[in-house]
């Protein structure tokens, strides 16, 4: 473990209401600074709760989370957060919304960044927010977040409202930000394919728990897709998922020792890996050594 | 707020004023029109009433106008409570814009302080001016008015009680907004509580005093209301801190 972690969670849990269910429980992971991290998981897995905890909008029910080496509330100057529903003040114009960002982030605000993001979307600065489409609101929300020049950018389903062209362009903008300023970006999505090319770190959440955490390359390298005759014993390798079709067994393994040479093996894609874990909630959670908290 | 406050140069109050420009304009217009009408009564209608030449007309009758304005001014606090509960705080929490504000470089407590400050200053200034002008006109024109200081339409708007009641409405609206998190329920609760306070201090408080005199009634009611305002504000900040942030990071 070197340097300050962008986010570090230990036994983190959040329950809504005294009798409510746990939205997140027993979460422990470490996200090194400078990564572009995908937070994936099914609907209701706890992704938004985790991001809100990191943004200092919710207090944990148990455990602890630290952001940029301090408590989330104290880091809010250096953290930008875009909520899933992209809340903006409907009565303001685009230009007024950006002026508000300038007023509330005087020490860090970069007006030229905000102008550029808004202008690239052909948005009239005099348009009222209430007249904008969902995608246009997303653009204004991202302009606010990027112009703050954050060290950590938390994005909850940022691309959901964007058309494919805008999505591609915004992703390019985010990657440029990450490359130029070393910004750590954490974005949640349930569309895994969307994130595969741009993210280098994965946090898979399912049922309120961390199922997988680590560098995507390492996670992929640690797993093998195996085809073998049915009834083949897969022990001692930990099995994430196995399926028998006729006389053929196909499985996703996390090999602990070199594999049998007569098995047919292939590298899984990120989507296969994620889906295998999500389909099999009893498969044990793993973290690559670097990210173990 | 403390030496540890983030981003000391941030200008949250300016941002709040930008958000609530329509409300500021409405408040300013209300104060101006009301003061103008009171001056018109004092300078033109009251002298006319002393030597009536015009036939009686219901909309220009001195008593009718002063009574009407007294009623309106005595209920200003209800509108303030409704606005604070719904527009200032409840709607922010309901639509999620509060999360937008709280993830800029200001803490939830500082944002709420800015909201309260941006509202309290014009409300205090405007209500003080209205109270002074109303008291001046009412005192000067008593000879043509059928009135008594103990009527709630005189007692409430003519003294510091009016300022205390408006600040109480602001605090109660804020507390209801934070506690309920939604605009409409907060509006309902805040207006009901403020109406009850206005009724109690406007109509019942003076009966509690054995010797009924204007200033003791005014000042004691003002003091009690300001104490209740302070309590509501403490509760609002405590609730906000508990709901949003991790201990120690609230300021």
Mean per-residue pLDDT pooled into runs of 10, chain A (293 residues): 81 86 90 93 88 91 93 91 95 96 93 92 93 92 94 92 86 89 91 81 89 92 88 81 87 82 86 89 62 44
The answer to whether A73 contacts B245, with C-beta atoms less than 8 Å apart, is: yes
Cβ under 8 Å to A: B residues 9-48: 9-12, 14-15, 18-19, 22
Q: How far apart are CA A264 and CA A266, in angstroms?
A: 7
Q: Is residue B16 scored above 70 in pLDDT?
A: yes
Chain B hits for A96, CB-CB cut-off 8 Å, are: 18
User: Which residue bears the tokens 């508000």?
Assistant: A100
DSSP secondary structure letter of residue A268: P
- Closest among A133, A150, A176, A277 to A219, alpha carbons compared: A277
**Which helix H or strand E contains A265, and what residues bound it?**
strand A264-266
Closest chain A CA to residue B249: A73
How far apart, in Å, are the Cα atoms of B248 and each of A71, A182, B106, B107, B251?
A: 9, 29, 14, 11, 7
Q: Which of B99, B104, B246 sits opposite A105 (nearest CB)?
A: B104
The answer to whether A73 contacts B14, with C-beta atoms less than 8 Å apart, is: no
Q: Which tens digits make up the pLDDT trace of A141-184?
A: 999 999 999 999 999 998 888 888 888 888 888 999 889 889 99
3-state secondary structure at position A9:
strand
Q: Is residue B225 scored above 50 in pLDDT?
A: yes
Number of residues that make up chain A: 293
pTM summary value: 0.90
The answer to whether A73 contacts B248, with C-beta atoms less than 8 Å apart, is: yes
Q: Which of B97, B104, B249 sits opposite A73 (nearest CB)?
A: B249
- Average pLDDT of B185-192? 98
High-pLDDT (> 90) share of chain B, %: 78
User: Which residue bears the tokens 């408080």?
Assistant: B205
Q: How far apart are CA A234 and CA A17, in angstroms?
A: 44
- Closest among B3, B176, B213 to B87, alpha carbons compared: B176
Q: How far apart are CA B160 and CA B130, in angstroms?
A: 11
Chain B hits for A146, CB-CB cut-off 8 Å, are: none
Strand order in the sheet with A36-40: A79-82, A152-156, A184-189, A36-40, A201-206, A209-215, A286-287
Q: Which of A74, A92, A99 sits opposite B249 (nearest CB)?
A: A74
**Which helix H or strand E contains B122, and what residues bound it?**
helix B108-140
Pairing verdict, β A5-15 and A152-156: unpaired
Distance between B184 CA and the closest CA of chain A, angstroms: 18
- Average pLDDT of B199-204? 93
Query: Is residue B171 within 8 Å of B82, Cβ to Cβ?
Result: no
Top pLDDT among B236 and A181 is at: B236
A-to-B residue pairs, Cβ atoms closer than 8 angstroms = 105
Q: How far apart are CA B129 and CA B112, in angstroms?
A: 26
3-state secondary structure at position A198:
coil
Q: Is residue B175 scored above 90 in pLDDT?
A: yes
pLDDT value of position B243? 78
- Closest among A238, A271, A240, A232 to A255, alpha carbons compared: A238
Cβ under 8 Å to A: B residues 82-141: 95-97, 99-107
Angle between helices B108-140 and B21-40 (to 10 degrees): 10
Q: Which tens digits make up the pLDDT trace of B78-102?
A: 999 999 999 999 999 999 999 999 9
pLDDT value of position A92? 96
Q: Is residue B156 scored above 90 in pLDDT?
A: yes
Q: Is residue B237 scored above 70 in pLDDT?
A: yes
Write a three-state SS string for B6-70: CCCCCCHHHHHHHHCHHHHHHHHHHHHHHHHHHHHHHHHHHHHHHCCCCCCCCCCCHHHHHHHHH
Q: Is residue B214 scored above 60 in pLDDT?
A: yes
The answer to whether A107 contacts B7, with C-beta atoms less than 8 Å apart, is: yes
Q: How far apart are CA B24 and CA B125, in angstroms?
A: 12
Q: Is residue B3 scored above 50 in pLDDT?
A: no
pLDDT value of position A165? 86
- Which tokens is B76 given? 């200003």
Query: Is residue A200 within 8 Å of A36, Cβ to Cβ?
Result: yes
Q: How far apart are CA A131 and CA A93, in angstroms?
A: 9
How far apart, in Å, are the Cα atoms of A43 and each of A155, A233, B157, B207?
A: 16, 35, 55, 61
The answer to whether B95 contacts A87, with C-beta atoms less than 8 Å apart, is: yes
Give buried/exposed letters for B136-167 (b at 16+ CB in 10 A, else e): ebbeebeebbebebebbbbbbbbbbbbbbbbb
pLDDT value of position A288? 54
How far apart, in Å, are the Cα atoms of B149 and each of B130, B135, B143, B213?
A: 16, 10, 13, 9
């Amino acid at each position: 473990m070197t340097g300050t972690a962008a986010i570090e969670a230990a036994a983190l849990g959040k329950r809504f209401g005294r009798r409510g269910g746990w939205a997140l429980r027993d979460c422990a992971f470490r996200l090194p600074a400078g990564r572009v991290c995908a937070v994936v998981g099914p609907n209701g897995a706890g992704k938004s709760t985790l991001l809100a905890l990191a943004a200092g909008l919710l207090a944990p029910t148990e455990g602890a989370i630290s952001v940029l080496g301090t408590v989330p509330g104290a880091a809010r100057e250096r953290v930008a957060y875009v909520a899933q529903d992209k809340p903006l003040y409907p009565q303001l114009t685009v230009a007024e919304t950006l002026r508000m960002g300038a007023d509330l982030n005087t020490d860090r605000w970069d007006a030229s960044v905000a102008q550029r993001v808004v202008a690239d979307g052909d948005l009239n600065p005099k348009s009222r927010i209430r007249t904008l489409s969902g995608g246009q609101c997303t653009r204004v929300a991202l302009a606010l977040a990027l112009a703050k020049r954050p060290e950590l950018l938390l994005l909850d389903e940022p691309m959901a409202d964007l058309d494919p062209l805008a999505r591609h362009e915004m992703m390019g903008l985010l990657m440029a930000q990450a490359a130029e300023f070393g910004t750590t970006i954490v974005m949640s999505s349930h569309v895994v394919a969307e994130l595969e090319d741009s993210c280098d770190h994965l946090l898979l959440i399912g049922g309120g728990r961390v199922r997988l955490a680590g560098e995507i390359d390492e996670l992929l390298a640690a797993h093998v897709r195996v085809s073998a005759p049915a009834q083949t014993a897969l022990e001692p390798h930990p099995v994430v998922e196995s399926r028998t079709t006729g006389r053929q067994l196909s499985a996703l393994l996390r090999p602990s020792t070199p594999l049998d040479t007569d098995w047919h093996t292939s590298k899984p894609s990120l989507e296969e890996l994620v889906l295998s874990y999500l389909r099999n909630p009893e498969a044990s959670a793993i973290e690559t050594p670097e990210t173990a908290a | 707020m403390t030496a540890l406050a983030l981003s000391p140069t941030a200008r949250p109050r300016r941002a709040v004023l930008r958000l609530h420009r329509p409300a500021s304009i409405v408040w300013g217009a209300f104060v101006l029109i009301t003061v103008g009408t009171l001056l018109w009564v004092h300078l033109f209608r009251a002298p006319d009433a002393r030597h009536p030449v015009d036939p009686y007309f219901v909309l220009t009758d001195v008593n009718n106008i002063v009574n009407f304005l007294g009623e309106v001014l005595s209920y200003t606090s209800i509108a303030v409570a409704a606005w604070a509960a719904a527009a200032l705080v409840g709607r922010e929490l309901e639509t999620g814009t509060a999360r937008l504000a709280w993830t800029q470089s200001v803490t939830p407590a500082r944002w709420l302080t800015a909201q309260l400050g941006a509202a309290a200053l014009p409300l205090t200034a405007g209500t003080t001016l209205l109270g002074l002008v109303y008291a001046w006109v009412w005192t000067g024109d008593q000879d043509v008015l059928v009135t008594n200081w103990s009527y709630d339409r005189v007692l409430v708007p003519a003294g510091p009680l009016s300022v205390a009641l408006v600040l109480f409405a602001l605090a109660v609206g804020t507390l209801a907004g934070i506690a309920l998190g939604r605009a409409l329920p907060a509006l309902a609760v805040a207006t009901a509580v403020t109406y009850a306070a206005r009724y109690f201090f406007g109509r019942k408080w003076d009966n509690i005093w054995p010797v009924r005199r204007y200033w003791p009634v005014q000042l004691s009611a003002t003091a009690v209301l300001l104490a209740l305002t302070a309590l509501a504000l403490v509760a609002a900040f405590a609730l906000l801190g508990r709901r949003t942030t991790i201990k120690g990071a609230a300021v």
